[in-house]
């Protein structure tokens, strides 16, 4: 399908999210959309998929003007979108997710749907268990399910909003192969990403957005420096690794065992030193989350000891961990990290230490302004956090961490952040290390793990290998270990 957007504008209250954006995607091509956090990428694509409505502007499909009044119209016209945070129904099974929203006989036939799901998955070498609950699937699998679902609805244009954050290297290879195959079939694909390498590998053409407008366009082969300049208005480079000398032992795990109903980690022994950064590598759902939750006091260990500066915290309730200076930053930012509906300023008021019963709004607003400036959160301090762009929600979450922590546990700390904000966040985190805090983090970006960690733990199906010094590792070796090769 040939897609053309003409002069699209959209404003949310005070924020102009899109301004006079035009875009053309010929059938059979893969089009990349680049731009820093908050540039307006998701907004533009939500407009194309009918999820929100533009204030002005027109859409043409195969040359004819199209009226897209809502998602139902877009689906009928053959446009499907994979949202930045998977928009599915977590407690329901994969088949039910596949079926929900389809038209057809009013009575469900799950065996038929299951067969169709399996058949369509086989086309792309996807392997989602139709009977599994979606909340137990990895982000990559949820994405595969959504993609197959959209194609089954007859999508001829597929929009993917940052599909490569939070998925494994293998899943990414499968995804890219699938997208190439779809483009070869004449479908048009639009890919939003922060990762220049992904765009370089996949896209025939890119459009760069900055501050709600089109900053430029480019065609393959790309000059990556030029793309970066278009995205940020200047050249950004990755900084060399900051060396922080490590201190004495901070957290000691002694035969720790943790489990939930899916997975069991046992016999963990580890000594984390002050100032150290530990990276946790592994395919999603291999046990990293259990590990972090146990260290953060959110999951009671089944056995073993967890000593912080000599004091055994295993079995203590969460507030004890928190008061001891341990913080946990979850991956599901809107579900566990932030309170949807509250503004950033209100969040700051909640976490501000001390303080009386009554909120001093003047002081809070001042502090909010300070933190917003410090973490460069773009968007209004007085609007609800869930209306921030994905990357800015992540910044807001990190800006809530109190000062003086001794152990910070992070899941995908730079998920959805552009290169510039990612290094800004890391600068802030490493400052804490210089003050004697230790960091433990997960990431699906292996380069990030090797760049920032001192030592790496590799998780595979509940088995933990390592710790290995990051300096002795390569991305390839790490990939092998994550796949279970010793």
Partner 1 sequence: MNGESLVLVGLAGILSSATPLLFAAIGETLAERAGVINLSLNGTILLSAMGSFGVAVKTGSLALGFLAGAVIGAFMALIVAFGSITLRQSQVAVGFVLAMVGRDLSYFLGAPLMGRPGPTVPSWPVPALGDIPVLGPLLFRHDLPTYAGFLLVAGAWFWLYRTRPGLILQGVGERPAAAHARGANVNRLRYLYTIFGGALVGLAGPIYSLSIKAGWMGTISGLDGLGWIALAITIFGGWNPWRAALGAWFFALLQWLGLVLQPHLPGVPMQVLQVAPFPLMILALLLVNAGNAEWVQRALAALSEPRRRAAARLLRSLRAAPPASLGEHFESR
Residue choice 29, 30, 41, 364 for contact with ligand ATP (CB under 6 A): 41
* Residues 6+ positions from 267 with CB-CB distance below 8 Å: 255, 256, 257, 304
Q: What are phi and psi of 94, to 5 degrees?
A: -60, -45
438 C-beta neighbours (distance < 10 Å), count: 25
Residue 390 engages Mg ion in binding (rule: CB under 5 A): yes
Interface with partner 1, residue 332, by CB under 8 A? no
How far apart CA 316 and CA 465 sit, in angstroms, is 27
Q: Which of 172, 180, 300, 305 binds partner 1 (CB under 8 A)?
A: 300
Task: Tell whether residue 96 is a contact of partner 1 (CB under 8 A).
Answer: yes
Determine if 442 is a binding residue for Mg ion (CB under 5 A).
no
Q: Do the Cβ atoms of 132 and 89 come closer than 8 Å?
A: no
Q: 199 is in the binding site of which of ligand ATP, Mg ion, partner 1, none (Cβ under 5 to 8 A by kind)?
A: none
Cα dist from 56 to 7, 8, 11, 214, whole Å? 7, 6, 10, 16
Instruction: Pick the binder of partner 1 from 58, 60, 66, 89 (CB under 8 A).
Output: 89
297, interface contact from ligand ATP, Mg ion, partner 1, none, CB < 5-8 Å by kind: none
**Which among 33-41, 397-405, 448-456, 458-466 is the span making contact with ligand ATP, rule CB under 6 A?**
33-41
Helix (H, G, I), strand (E, B) or coil at 80: strand
Give the shortest CB-229-to-partner 1 separation in angstroms.
32
Taking the least distance from each CB to partner 1, the nearer of 79 and 405 is 79
51: contact with ligand ATP by CB under 6 A: no
Q: Does 362 bind partner 1 (CB under 8 A)?
A: no
Is 35 among the residues that bind ligand ATP (CB under 6 A)?
Answer: yes
Helix spans in 185-317 (H): 196-202, 224-232, 288-295
- Contact positions with partner 1 (CB under 8 A) in 378-397: none
Note whether 51 and 81 are within 8 A (CB): yes
The CB-of-431 to partner 1 minimum distance in angstroms stands at 36
DSSP 8-state code for residue 133: B
* Site size toward ligand ATP, by CB under 6 A: 22
Binding residues for partner 1, rule CB under 8 A, total 32
Contact in structure between 32 and 191 (CB atoms under 8 Å) = yes
Binding to partner 1 (CB under 8 A) within 207-266 occurs at: 261
Q: Tell me how far apart the alpha carbons of residues 164 and 443 are, in angstroms, rounded to a whole number.
A: 12
Q: Which residue has the tokens 């300096």?
A: 471
Q: Which is nearer to ligand ATP, 68 or 437 (CB)?
A: 68
Q: How far is the CB of 398 from Mg ion (least distance, A)?
A: 17
Query: Is 38 a binder of ligand ATP (CB under 6 A)?
Result: yes
Measure the CA–CA gap between 124 and 260, rounded to whole angstroms: 31
For residues 98-134, one letter each, b for 16 or more C-beta atoms within 10 angstroms of the residue's C-beta and e for the rest, the string is bbeeeeeeeeeeeeebbebbbebbeebebebebeeeb
Nearer to ligand ATP (CB atom), residue 32 or residue 390:
390
- Contact set with partner 1 (CB under 8 A): 12, 49, 51-53, 70-72, 75, 81, 83, 87-92, 96, 99-108, 261, 300, 302, 317
């Amino acid at each position: 399908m040939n897609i053309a957007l003409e002069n699209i504008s959209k404003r949310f209250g005070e924020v102009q999210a899109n301004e006079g954006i035009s875009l053309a995607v010929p059938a059979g091509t893969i089009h990349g959309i680049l731009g820093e956090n908050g540039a307006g990428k998701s907004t533009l694509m939500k407009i194309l998929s009918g999820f929100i409505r533009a204030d002005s502007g027109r859409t043409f499909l195969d040359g004819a003007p199209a009226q897209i009044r809502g998602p139902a119209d877009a689906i009928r016209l053959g446009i499907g979108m994979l949202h930045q945070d998977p928009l599915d129904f977590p407690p329901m099974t994969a088949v039910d997710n596949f079926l929900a929203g389809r038209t057809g006989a009013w009575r469900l036939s799950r065996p038929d749907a299951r067969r169709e799901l399996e058949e369509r998955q086989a086309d792309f070498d996807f392997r989602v268990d139709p009977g599994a609950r979606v909340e137990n699937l990895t982000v990559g699998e949820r994405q595969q399910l959504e993609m197959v679902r959209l194609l089954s609805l007859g999508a001829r244009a597929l929009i993917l909003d940052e599909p490569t954050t939070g998925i494994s290297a293998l899943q990414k290879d499968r995804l890219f192969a699938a997208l190439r195959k779809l483009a070869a079939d004449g479908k048009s694909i639009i890919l939003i990403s922060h990762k220049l390498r992904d765009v370089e590998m996949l896209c025939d053409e890119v459009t760069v957005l900055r501050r709600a407008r089109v900053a430029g366009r480019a065609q393959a082969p790309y000059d990556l420096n030029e793309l970066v300049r278009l995205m940020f208005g200047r050249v950004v480079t990755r900084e060399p690794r900051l060396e922080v000398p490590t201190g004495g032992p901070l957290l000691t795990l002694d035969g720790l065992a943790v489990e939930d109903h899916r997975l069991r980690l046992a016999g963990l022994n580890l000594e984390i030193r002050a100032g150290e950064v530990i990276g946790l590598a592994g395919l999603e759902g291999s046990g990293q989350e259990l590990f972090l939750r146990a260290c953060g006091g959110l999951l009671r260990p089944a056995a073993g000891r967890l000593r912080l500066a000599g004091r055994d915290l295993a079995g203590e309730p969460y507030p004890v961990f928190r008061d001891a200076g341990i913080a946990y930053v979850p991956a599901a930012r809107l579900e566990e990290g932030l309170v949807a509906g509250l503004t950033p300023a209100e969040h700051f008021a909640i976490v501000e230490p001390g303080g009386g019963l009554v909120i001093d709004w003047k002081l809070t607003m001042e502090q909010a302004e300070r933190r917003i400036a410090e973490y460069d959160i773009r968007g209004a301090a007085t609007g609800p956090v869930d209306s921030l762009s994905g990357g800015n929600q992540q910044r807001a979450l990190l800006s809530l961490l109190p000062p003086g922590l001794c152990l910070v546990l992070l899941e995908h700390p730079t998920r959805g952040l552009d290169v510039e904000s990612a290094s800004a966040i890391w600068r802030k985190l490493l400052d804490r290390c210089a003050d004697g805090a230790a960091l433990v983090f997960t990431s699906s970006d292996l380069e990030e793990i090797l760049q920032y960690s001192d030592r790496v733990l590799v998780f595979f199906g509940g088995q933990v290998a390592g710790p290995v010094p990051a300096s002795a590792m390569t991305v390839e070796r790490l990939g092998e270990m994550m796949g279970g090769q010793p």
